[in-house]
Amino acid sequence: MSGAPPATDISSAPGPSHVSLKAVALIFLKLGTIAFGGPAAHIAMMEDEFVARRQWLTREQFLDRLAAANLIPGPSSTEMAIFIGYEKCGWPGLLVAGCAFIIPAAIMVGAIGWAYVRYGTLPQVDGALYALKPVVIAIVVQAFWKLGRTAVKTKWLAAVAVVAGVLYALRVHELLTLLIAGGLGAAPMIVELLSRGPALLFTTMTPARLFGAAVTAAAPFGMWRLFMVFAKIGAVLFGSGYVLLAFLRSDLVDRLHWLTERQLLDSVAVGQLTPGPVFTTATFIGYVIGGVRGAIVASVGIFAPAFLFVAISGFLIPSIRRSALASSMLDGLVVGSLALMGVVAWQLGRAAITDLPTLTIAITSAILLLTLRINSAWLIVVAGILGWLYHG
């Protein structure tokens, strides 16, 4: 598939050009219920569901949306869900896919928040997580392999991916790493255009700037202020749950004093160990400091910017692909995004695969996924049950 056309219009997808809103809702409700492991695992499951199995998108289209989701602020896996819903069902699909992916996790996290407030501790789920984590690593590796074969079209793009991976491993900020990858991806085209005339370079560029921020000041607790805090975080945050932890600590512990250090760490743990978006950490925090209304307000606040950014950037991707220069930059962003995914898989794997049983689970899962095309959902369910029984 290396000879992909310059434009990735939705009409070129191998699957149906339009699917029912009900189908979109049901699939994302399922993913929101079983998608453990954080954004990299969520994206891997979406690739399996919508590219490999249902063929709703080509791999090129999927990778373009992944690059866009990584470049804009907010939760990347949720933004991928919103992108896919918009591709298949327009504006209703945008809202339904995003909400269906978010709501199951938000309900679970809200229920845990209720138990936490009532009993002062978190439920014990160590056994299930012990077996789930290596399965998640196998799912990410499978997606990384399949997407990488499509994205790395040239030796130059392979080199760009290596550079991006090294930069991210050296703790260079995610956004800066992606911007460098985009620039390197476009470097051969820039050299060619400059050789044909400097003026041609500027006539082929189509700049697009997306940004968002909300300013909050130290103040007593209130629902509007709670919304603004989480809307600001959702509008400016790039990166993983650890980056989210830094934002939450700065705003809620140090500045506003709405949470204690222990409550903050517990909230991030809940976001990591439940399925669906890690950003549902906001649901837990909202419940702890504001009850049911607080949970709803915080959840809406942190996810609302993602819907807005996807709605804006969704119009830009086909136009970008029609420009040779912008398309080469997008290729760089795509391989940069995959490099980030690979580094995250390595980091998570070191934490998840700690002994012979977890190594066996990871290898067995990878073999089943890569050779027999077993649905990843079944692996997650079986691993969770076996882990719970074994350590119960």
Domain ranges of the chain: 12-210+310-391
Cα gap 364→77, rounded to integer Å: 26
Contact 353, 137 (CB under 8 A): yes
3-class state of residue 77 by DSSP: helix
- Cβ neighbors of 122 (< 8 A, separation 6 or more) are 112, 115, 116, 266, 269, 270
Residue 207 DSSP class: -
pLDDT tens for the chain, 392 residues long, are: 334 333 334 334 445 556 899 999 999 999 999 887 677 778 888 998 999 889 999 988 898 888 888 777 788 889 999 999 998 998 999 999 999 999 999 999 999 889 888 876 666 566 776 787 788 788 778 778 877 887 888 899 999 999 998 998 888 877 788 789 888 988 888 877 777 655 544 444 443 333 333 344 444 678 999 999 999 888 877 555 545 766 787 788 878 889 887 787 677 667 766 788 878 989 999 999 999 999 999 999 999 999 998 888 766 666 666 777 777 887 887 788 788 778 877 877 887 788 898 899 889 988 888 888 776 667 877 887 888 777 65
Q: Which amino acid is at 366?
A: A
What whole-number distance in Å separates Cα of residue 307 and Cα of residue 166? 31
Q: 0.85 cut: is pTM over it?
A: no
Token couple for 346? 């390595």
Q: How far apart are CA 360 and CA 220, in angstroms?
A: 51
Residues 289, 295: Cα–Cα separation, whole Å: 8
Tokens of 120: 């002062």
Nearest alpha carbon to residue 61 among 1, 130, 112? 1
One-character DSSP codes across 315-336: THHHHHHHSHHHHHHHHHHHHH
d(CA 374, CA 367): 9
Please choose, from the candidates 310, 318, 313, the residue with its C-alpha nearest in 3D space to the C-alpha of residue 12. 318
Q: What is the largest CA-CA distance in the chain?
A: 70
